[in-house]
Structure 1
Amino acid sequence: MVSTGAVPNLAFRRLRGQRSAGEFAAAVRRAAREIGEQVACDARYIGRVESGEIRCPNYAYERVFLHMFPGTTLADLGFSSRETVRGRGARATVGTPPPTAPHRDTDEESDVLRRVFMTSGTATMATATLGLGGTPAAAAARPAPRRVGEAEVSAVEKAVRQIRLLDDRHGGDGLYRKASRPLRIAYALLDSGAAAKRSTAGRLHAGAGELAISVGWLAHDSGRFEDARSHYAEALATARVAGDAALEAHAFCNASFLARDTGRPRESVRAAEAGQRAAQPLGSPRLLALLALREAGGRAGLGDRVGCERAIGRAHAAFGHGRSDADPEWMSFFREAELEFLEAQCWSVLGEWSRAARHARRAVRLQDPHFTRNLALYRAELTWDLARAGEAAQAAAEGHRVLDLLDRVRSTRIRAMLAGSVTALRPQRGTREVREFLERHDEVSGTRE
């Protein structure tokens, strides 16, 4: 891969004037709040722009910068055009595109969710004839729904995959509202009863249910817990109507996770056990391993150390059987790194901070860097465990690494975890490493200007 080298952005540096990089970053965050944006801007980000490392800002930063400097263009601010950085021109320059675009805005990418669902002509027609746009009178004047076939079902399945891909990169905050639209369309297709074949109807039920779980997860990750609960319940009802054990197991898996996160550990255990019953005949040891870890998390919340250890043991035994052709597609995230992370969370809840930190560190080491959201999540867990274990300087170092990822990841859940670590570390602010981390966190979060 040929590198062209970074060219300093002198125009942007001139706009900063006499202000320090930190002061200018604070001004950027204030401007963002004025227009309803949220950007994790700090002195490091300003330095990366001025050095030319960031050749074109993501869409959120673009809106903020143009708000700060009315009448200017990106070119006036010293940036390259988006097409040359991310489009065909950029690919021709560097040879091979990177596997992940690290600073792509979630608003831009979540628009893909609409395009995925609307690119098929037949899907567009089905959507229109089902009255999902326009006035009621116009909908009534349209012809009856045509038969739902391969194009529509494939569009639902593609939307599910796209949501998961974007979530792996960026977290749920920027995606949830826009991902809800394909979900409404999917259930409208389902409710129309217009599937051409029994097999098509089965795939449509499964696709709509998986889409409900995916949108529910986005709600969960962005702190909209009641919305998440509703979506998971919708998926479970769809599974029961269709007699789809795989979908039922997935819905119970996520419902258990949500119950644990919202302080209902007994419900978490019951949902995990129900998921294991549904999953038993499916032939996927990895699915049983994940559900056992969900149970372990619930039992940890109940203070049931013995039950938690037993569930963790079952999870390791099942995971050790390896992958299977019966493993669900949605479980692509469940690798050894996730196993270590979920075990870390159990020990953390039980108050064994050093043991939890060992597992969290393994999770970070094993994680594929393309799963950006999960890498930030694992590092946030490690920060918390180290802080509670009394390893303040190490916790601060990990906290910096989480902040480095927050420009790319919008997750209320991760921010809340990091905020908990900050609270735990404040009594140690006399230590230089801790003080620098706390100051940077406060600067980025707007806690202190």
Structure 2
Amino acid sequence: MIHAMLGVDPIELGFLNPPPGATVGSASLLLQEGTSVDRRAFLADSIGAATAAAGVPPAPNRPTPPGNQGAVGTAHLIELREGLRSLYHLDNAYGGGDVRSLAVRHLHRIQRVINTSRYPESIGRQLQLLVGETAEHCAWLYYDADDQDSARRYWGEALTTATVLKDSSLEILVLASLSMQASYEGRPRDGYDLARAAKERAARLGSPTLQSLLASREARALSLLGDDTAARRSLMESMRLAERRDRGRPAPEWAAFHGAAELDYAHGLLYTESGHHERAVHFLRAALAHQDRTYGRNRALYRLTLARSLVNADSVDEGAAHAVESLEHLEEVESGRVTRRLTEVIDLLDKRDAVSARDATRELRDYLHERRAA
């Protein structure tokens, strides 16, 4: 990943030589279950080294340089796209808090290539599209880090690119993301309108998985608006579409995460909003069970959301146990959204008299204090 983004051998940047068959950006090294990779050390090293990358002497195995005339070709495009794909893997495992710095550097690199190199028109369009996709991912990372103003700015850049290129897939992605952000920020009417706009554009693409994802975003906004009937209807539509995922056109790569875990989680949130916490617990348990272990940030978020619902359903001991168990995931994750959910759980436990609640509150607060002091 660092090689593709910065043009520098990772070993030159201070990374240990990876084991045979693995690379710094590979899922096998970063994302394997039970890994002992230290998120803070790994990402701090990579970000710190990136700052000094300009002063690193040339390496024999840096990415393919432009030709004699400064021309950029398919090989360069593939390397830049692989850099973005590696950022997706890092985000899934560790959250957006630290990864966003690398993503911004990658975006700047692509922009520099566009403005200082020569290339045919076909390559130029792909580079511009890659700028839009990378800006969208920067926005997502800032959203996950809970820096919503920066997220909006990058989503604005991505939407501008999608409009100029008339690229419907990128436009749908940005609208869906803005819908998610609007609901998160307490603007469900905007969230609903944005989800509907994305659905209208996605209808002609014929991808059941994509349409299912957008229906679940619509359901989330409706539940926050207090329209439980319409929210359940949209969520049932999302489930029906997900069952048809093998029909029609395949989903775009960015929608690949949408599946059973996401739908269970959406159901859990719907019942949480309507105050049916015991029903929410059922779906949130299923969401955690179905969530792929490579998605470290999502597992942390799901477990804390389950803990919140358990406490609200008066299963305080079990809720406290899940909250404490989440600390194992949180050691590897830097996500403002997850930290906010942790704070919500601490506040709930603090209001309970159970011994388990008091013990968990003390341990969770100590963890937050140590983390903020680090």
- TM class by smaller structure: 0.7 to 0.9
Change (3 A) 1:316 1:413: same
Q: Given that residues 31 and 93 in structure 2 are in contact (C-alpha distance below 8 angstroms), is that contact kept between their aligned partners in structure 1?
A: no
Rounded to whole Å, the distance in 2 between the matches of 1:156 and 1:293 is 32
1:410 maps to: 334
1:166 maps to: 90
Q: Which of residues 104, 122, 127 in structure 1 aligns to 2:65?
A: 122
CA-to-partner distance for each residue in 1:5-54, whole Å, 9 max, x for gaps?
xxxxxxxxxxxxxxxxxxxxxxxxxxxxxxxxxxxxxxxxxxxxxxxxxx
Change (3 A) 1:173 1:99: closer
1:419 maps to: 343
Q: Which of residues 208, 229, 240 in structure 1 aligns to 2:163?
A: 240
Alignment of 1:41-60 (within 5 A): none
Rounded to whole Å, the distance in 2 between the matches of 1:164 and 1:97 is 14
Identity %: 26
Change (3 A) 1:109 1:327: farther
Change (3 A) 1:257 1:394: same
Deviates more, 1:233-242 or 1:165-174: 233-242
1:395 maps to: 319
- Alpha-carbon deviation of 1:331? 2.1
Deviates more, 1:186-195 or 1:221-230: 186-195
Q: Given that residues 360 and 378 in structure 1 are in contact (C-alpha distance below 8 angstroms), is that contact kept between their aligned partners in structure 2?
A: yes
Rounded to whole Å, the distance in 2 between the matches of 1:168 and 1:402 is 16
1:257 maps to: 180
* SS of residue matched to 2:251: coil
* SS of residue matched to 1:370: coil
CA-to-partner distance for each residue in 1:319-369, whole Å, 9 max, x for gaps?
010246521112232221112112212222232222222111100111121
Change (3 A) 1:186 1:342: farther
1:155 maps to: 79
Q: Given that residues 102 and 408 in structure 1 are in contact (C-alpha distance below 8 angstroms), is that contact kept between their aligned partners in structure 2?
A: no
Question: Structure 2 counterpart of 1:221, which letter?
Answer: D
Q: Given that residues 110 and 179 in structure 1 are in contact (C-alpha distance below 8 angstroms), is that contact kept between their aligned partners in structure 2?
A: no
Change (3 A) 1:401 1:362: same
Alignment of 1:337-356 (within 5 A): 337-356=261-280
Q: Given that residues 363 and 378 in structure 1 are in contact (C-alpha distance below 8 angstroms), is that contact kept between their aligned partners in structure 2?
A: yes
Structure 1: state its 5+ residue gaps. Answer: 1-81, 126-142
Q: How many residues align?
A: 341
Change (3 A) 1:439 1:179: same
- Alpha-carbon deviation of 1:402? 1.1
- Alpha-carbon deviation of 1:204? 2.1
- Alpha-carbon deviation of 1:377? 1.2
Rounded to whole Å, the distance in 1 between the matches of 2:260 and 2:103 is 29
2:44 maps to: 107
Rounded to whole Å, the distance in 1 between the matches of 2:84 and 2:30 is 23
Question: Structure 2 counterpart of 1:201, which letter?
Answer: G
Rounded to whole Å, the distance in 2 between the matches of 1:277 and 1:251 is 14
Change (3 A) 1:151 1:107: farther
Rounded to whole Å, the distance in 1 between the matches of 2:356 and 2:280 is 22
- Alpha-carbon deviation of 1:420? 0.3
Rounded to whole Å, the distance in 1 between the matches of 2:359 and 2:165 is 55
Alignment of 1:3-18 (within 5 A): none
Q: Given that residues 207 and 245 in structure 2 are in contact (C-alpha distance below 8 angstroms), is that contact kept between their aligned partners in structure 1?
A: no
For normalisation by structure 1, the TM-score amounts to 0.69
Rounded to whole Å, the distance in 2 between the matches of 1:413 and 1:305 is 24
CA-to-partner distance for each residue in 1:211-236, whole Å, 9 max, x for gaps?
11111111001011011111112111
1:16 maps to: none
Rounded to whole Å, the distance in 2 between the matches of 1:102 and 1:263 is 37
Rounded to whole Å, the distance in 1 between the matches of 2:119 and 2:85 is 22
Change (3 A) 1:235 1:310: same
Q: Given that residues 289 and 319 in structure 1 are in contact (C-alpha distance below 8 angstroms), is that contact kept between their aligned partners in structure 2?
A: yes
* SS of residue matched to 2:120: coil
Change (3 A) 1:191 1:367: same
1:209 maps to: 132
For normalisation by structure 2, the TM-score amounts to 0.83
Rounded to whole Å, the distance in 2 between the matches of 1:315 and 1:218 is 25
Rounded to whole Å, the distance in 1 between the matches of 2:298 and 2:322 is 14
Change (3 A) 1:112 1:287: farther
